[in-house]
Structure 1
Amino acid sequence: MADMEENAWAMVQKQGKQFVANNRPLYVNGFNTYWLMVFAVDQSTRAKVSEVFQQASSVGLTVCRTWAFNDGQWRALQKAPSVYDEDVFKALDFVISEARKYKIRLILSLINNWDSYGGKPQYVKWGKDAGLNLTSDDDFFSHPTLRSYYKAHVKTVLNRVNTFNNITYKDDPTIFAWELMNEPRCPSDSSGDKLQEWIEEMAVYVKSIDPNHLVEIGLEGFYGPSTPNRVQFNPNTYAQQVGTDFIRNHNILGVDFASVHIYADSWISQSIDDSHLKFVKSWMESHIEDAEKVLGMPVIFGEYGVSTKDPGYNSSYRDKVISTVYTTLLNSTKKGGSGAGSLLWQVFPEGTDYMDDGYAIVLSKTPSISNIVSLHSKRLATFNSLCSWKCRWGCKKKHRLEELDHHDEL
């Protein structure tokens, strides 16, 4: 039985436009909880890590995206370049081992574009402290010393041996994928060349250390100069000027799947409006189409949500946004397409309200969302459990699918 369980917990791989595990499709219903490592450091808050995994698991969520970085700040993992706090690293060990207990896989992000938890501004500060002549946070992408700082962090994390289960991170199937950076932007170079070179170098570098895990960039999904025919789908004109380029950035060696974020309420207008729902649908459909026809890879919508702080916010509107995301994905899933999953921003347990940025969802306090999430999880489980990769949705099991509850809705 132990061997069977171990075999069932296989490394996630990519075959064409789909994720697979044990030679079966793997469609993702997941969530974000970025602060797990920091909470796990302190024994008084460590139980919240287990609590959020338990609650997420109870509604069928199977993938969590969280930070594998905290640079130079309070409870820092990396106190200075290549100088680590072992207690914080042990906290990350705990997060990974605990996720495995609840059969939740992790997408681990390796640095932030923003200054929260240090990020690229902290790397630039370290560089200045070392006497480097740096004029912009975007020097992070181009200066060889800062690139070496990042590479050293990648190497340390990937080669870390978990003190709870003795499994090296790069060998642990609990880890779904490595994310190069949370929401990389390089507005000092709107051509996109500077960021493109960084992505090309770092994706291959991660793969050189760990060829077994999937790699994604962490992009928000803005279309750039390489696809002028697609910029019409961007939420605003500024999106073309931040140095990212969805198609070009993903069409490189070492990147396994595409990442897209969805924030109509911060990109278009904070006031709640039905036009937001239309944007969510068209934004998703354009990226699913590009992932299928141009990139030939899966796409995960790695962050999406609605802030309770938005003017005109109401809970039924948030329910509509989540349902729109799920329905759009299911339209792809039914065809075996590239729409591979989504990750709610963000799922919190009770008693963590002081960390809420407006987007936090406490499942135990929001039964309508819990029901929507749970039903979507059941629908995806139908595809994940009954259809092997080789059948490509056309096998004899089709009749069994038709007999299942909710199949008409699927």
Structure 2
Amino acid sequence: MMAGVGAGTNAASVRSVLIALAWTAALSRCGAHAMSGMEDEAWGAVERRGTHFVVRGRPFLVHGFNTYWLMVFAADPATRCKVSDVFKDAADAGLTVCRTWAFNDGGWRALQISPFVYDEEVFKGLDFVVSEARTHGMRLMLSLCNNWEDYGGKAQYVRWGKEAGLDLSGDDDFFSDPTVKSYYKAFVKTVITRVNTFTNVAYKDDPTIMAWELINEPRCPSDPSGDTLQAWFEEMAAYVKSIDPMHLLEIGVEGFYGPSTPERLQLNPNTCAGDAGTDFIRNHQVAGVDFASVHVYSDTWLPDPDSDAHLQFVRDWMHQHMDDAEKLLGMPVVFGEFGASVKDERFDSGFRETFMETVYNTLLSSRTRRDVGGGCLVWQLFPEGTEHMDDGYAVVLAESPSTLQMLSQHSRNLQTHHSKGSCGSSEPREEL
């Protein structure tokens, strides 16, 4: 039942029984199970050590993917097995980290129905995602909000504020209005302190979760100075860490340089990027932020149709951010999203594979010259039967053997790289 809704009628009781039976049947079909070995020391938390990630003292690199809709699919017994499918496909290719939404604000199948009111059945869907990730040896990066209107995001928070009588002028008030910020904090606390109904482990204590992300691709163009977003990052990073000091934290920015580094503004993909209200260097100097976040989308950022220009931008963009992460920030850098749309008439699937290979090669080759760790996550991996969700970026491994081979080869390259004692350790690798 939805939180905040009475459940005393016979009809409600019958519905609860049916829901419980549906969960049991779906779990049986998917082959999922509660993790009795969650306390196993071998499944340690991912930690940050300087410019690297480690697990139980051994190097850990992010080789991962995005699939944003997992919670929504898991909330429906008819589609829950797609969650299992994508984790299995990813694990078979050697991927070890998944980034997905831990939010859905208002609207269809919402997790947060309204401020302080949550849907328990959707929460059980998120529980399943976390449990099933552990089943397949997958770490999770969980994003807690969206800058965009998809799945509600900051616009939905502002609508709730207006409905409550607040005098708000625009969506960017999400970052400054005290009441709206209290909505976000309440939601964040509810998620982080949630006890998983399958594992009986609180999210804040579960090493399956690698990191929390404050918000996906935050922008505040109403304040290009960056002060508004900076203050919000400082407040929310401190708040999350006060509840959960164990897990890593990142802020979710795209990597645009801002006013604090005017000499780097020309490195942005366009002039508008410098006015987005974000500031890569300054933002990542916030206390409590553990690693740098960067996205890579030359197809939407650059008007140039020349594919070589796009690939050169990717290399330059990545090298600059890795260099800054090492020398200025002293933290790992994760390219949390990268991809190319096959719906872009300028490019084709062949370019997308070349684009992906450029990202992987740039990341791997840089490690021979820099003392900085991190990794990357492709946008986005889909299992068969979910093509109707494709935004042009979907990679269905069963339908693209060459892409599967590329991902698997990168996994092997990472293994070889670590077997040579890279990233400051000559110990055997436990996991990627």
Query: Under TM normalisation by the shorter chain, which class is it?
Result: over 0.9
1:285-320 CA distances to partner (integer Å, 9 max, x unpaired)? Answer: 000000000000000000010101112322221111
Contact 1:24 1:384 in 2 (8 A): no
Cα distance in 2 between the residues matched to 1:44 and 1:370: 27
- Residue 333 (structure 1) shift: 2.6
Residues 129, 147 of structure 1: alpha-carbon distance in 2 compared, 3 angstrom cutoff: same
Q: Is the 8 A contact 2:44 2:207 kept in 1?
A: yes
Please tell me the residue identity of whatever aligns with 2:311: L
Structure 1: which 5+ residue stretches go unaligned?
401-410
Which residue of 233, 238, 243 maps to 2:272? Answer: 238
Q: Name the structure 2 match of 1:348.
A: 382
- Once residues 11 and 396 of structure 1 are traced to their aligned partners in structure 2, the CA distance between those partners, rounded to angstroms, is 18
How far the C-alpha of 1:272 sits from its partner, in A, is 5.5
Q: Confirm or deny that 1:378 pairs with 2:418.
A: no
CA distance in 2, matches of 1:160, 1:195: 27
Q: Go from structure 1 to structure 2 and tell me whether the alpha carbon gap of 1:152 and 1:20 turns closer, same or farther (over 3 Å shift).
A: same
Shift of 1:386: 6.5
**Alpha-carbon separation, structure 2, partners of 1:336 and 1:376:** 19
Q: Does the 8 Å contact 1:123/1:140 carry over to 2?
A: yes
Mapped to 2, the partners of 1:15 and 1:224 lie a distance apart of: 27
1:189-239, Cα deviation, whole Å (9 max, x unpaired): 000000000000000110000000000000000000000111121000000
Amino acid at match of 1:147: K
Distance between the aligned counterparts of 2:378 and 2:141, measured in 1? 13
**Structure 1, residues 82-132: CA drift from partner, whole Å, max 9, x if none?**
100000000000000000000000000000000000000000000000000
Counterpart secondary structure, 1:176: strand
Q: Which runs of 4+ in 1 moved over 3 A?
A: 2-5, 382-389
Give the alignment's TM-score, normalised by structure 2.
0.88
Q: 1:299–1:339: 8 Å Cα contact kept in structure 2? A: yes
| Distance change (3 Å), C-alpha of 1:5 and 1:151 | closer
Query: Conserved in 2, the CA contact under 8 Å of 1:319 and 1:369?
Result: yes
**Is contact 2:157-2:183 (8 Å) kept?**
yes
Query: Any conservation in 1 of the 2:249–2:289 contact (CA below 8 Å)?
Result: yes
Deviation of the 1:4 alpha carbon: 11
Provide Cα deviations, 1:31-77, integer angstroms capped at 9, x if missing partner: 00000000011111100000000000000000000000000110000
Query: RMSD of aligned C-alpha atoms?
Result: 1.8
Map of 1:12 onto structure 2: 46
Matched, 1:178 2:212: yes
Counterparts in 2 of 1:8 and 1:333: CA distance versus 1, 3 Å: farther
1:1-400 map, 5 Å? 6-269=40-303, 271=305, 273-335=307-369, 337-384=371-418, 387=421, 392=424, 395=426
Distance (Å, rounded) in 2 between the aligned partners of 1:3 and 1:173? 12
The amino acid of 1:246's aligned partner reads F
Q: For 1:202 and 1:78, how far apart are their aligned partners in 2?
A: 19
* Contact 2:284–2:329, Cα closer than 8 Å, also in 1: yes
Deviations 1:123-180 (A, max 9, x none): 0000000000000100000000011111101100000000001000000000010000
Write the distance in 2 (CA, Å) between the matches of 1:298 and 1:332. 13
| Structure 2 portions without partners, runs of 5+ | 1-35
**Alignment partner, residue 404 of structure 1:** none
Number of equivalences: 394
TM-score of the two chains, using structure 1 as the length reference: 0.93
Given that residues 271 and 310 in structure 1 are in contact (C-alpha distance below 8 angstroms), is that contact kept between their aligned partners in structure 2? no
Identity of aligned residues (%): 63
Tell me how far 1:382 sits from its aligned partner.
3.3
Does structure 2 retain, via aligned residues, the 8 Å contact 1:27–1:384? no
Equivalent pair of 1:161/1:167 in contact (CA under 8 Å): yes
Residue 365 of structure 2 aligns with an amino acid whose one-letter code is: N
Whether the aligned pair in 2 keeps the contact of 1:329 and 1:339 (CA below 8 Å) is: no
- What's the secondary structure of 1:8's corresponding residue? coil
Q: Secondary structure at the match of 1:123?
A: helix
Contact 2:141/2:212 (<8 A) preserved: yes
- 1:337-372 deviations in whole A, cap 9, x for unaligned? 324100000000011111110000001111111111
